[in-house]
Chains A and B, each alone.
Chain A
Amino acid sequence: MVLVIDTSSHRSALALVAGGEALAEDVVMDGRERDLPERVLAIVEPRRVEAVAVAVGPGSFTGLRVGVSYGVGLAMGLRVPLLGFGSLDLQAARTGRAATAAVDAGRRRLYWREPGAEPRLGAPAELPRELPVVGWLRPDTAEAVRVAGLLLVPDKALAGFAQTAAMLVGSAARLGYDTVELRYMQSFRPMRESRG
């Protein structure tokens, strides 16, 4: 069975999946808390974990570091494969409709991706008008999305986390313990003139 960890948003999501089926799920509201080990123990006996799958972003800087470093450490300790998937891929897979997947990027902006396109970073008003939005957004960001005239699909109208993760882990990429790269973009840029 595969332990799935997604701490890319303000929610901290754990799932246990096997053979395309969801076995357990634990989603809490604060992706920065530090009790991942206890929550994992509550859903699985670690030696039964055959692989660890982590969301590598884009998303919360702190959340990703907490979840991915824990996932890497667990996979190394158990000597099981480490798998990685995109946070926006998971959110997009929660609906059968064409939708823009989104996650908080900080400072009232979003990482977002239209079907078949590359992830982008921008304000809610930059998202395509014609597509509904799926994603775990903080309340203030969700409100900004609605104010921008976009439809944010309610969580209850989407497939659950574990159910979606169960489908996704089959195609998740195998990662090296020491070569995991987090995907977060942000807008800060060095001044060109300061080089050299």
Chain B
Amino acid sequence: MDTTTSREVTTVGPEATEAAAAHLARHVRRGDLVLLKGEMGAGKTTFVRGLARGLGVSGDVMSPTFQLVRVYPGPVQLGHVDLCRLTEAAEVADLGMDELLDDGAVVVEWGDRLAEPGAVRLAIDVLDGRRRRLRIEEAPAEWSW
């Protein structure tokens, strides 16, 4: 992290992005829905890996692009959803996200495709090959880096 404000941080390299996400995980509670926005290659899965590490959950974090949902057990269970291939409401219903949120927190790649008031919205902006700006777009006031 080379520059930091409370609601955004710029990272250089995937390790720094993962570390920033791990640090942010201290705000994540059961029932939280975290929607991630970022283009292909921005580092969404890297970010989720950091969140998982920060939450102390077990299991290898991999992109659920084809599985759609992965669940990592831990002190706060983390549900990992990828909406890359989903657009229809009926398909979103097939993910069982309500129950995942009863059981733990849920982080959603391509989460900007969901209209969900009250969700935490985070954005990963690609600045260049290695630099990323991580932004808290919508979250409770206490969320910060």
Contacts and interface: CB of A to CB of B under 8 A. Distances in A.
Interface of A: 60-62, 105-107, 109, 184-192, 194-195
Given A190-B87, A190-B88, A190-B113, A184 B101 contact: no
B102 A190 contact: no
Contacts of B116: 187-189
Interface of B: 31, 83, 86-89, 92-93, 95-99, 101-102, 112-116
Contacts, number: 55
A188 B112 CA distance: 12
B97 A186 contact: yes
B77 to A, nearest CB: 13
A191 B93 contact: no
B20 to A, nearest CB: 26
Given A194-B87, A194-B112, A194-B113, A188 B97 contact: yes
Contact of A190 (B96, B98, B115): B115
Contacts of A185: 93
A185 B89 CA distance: 10
Contact of A189 (B95, B102, B112, B114): B114
Contacts of B96: 61-62
A128 to B, nearest CB: 23
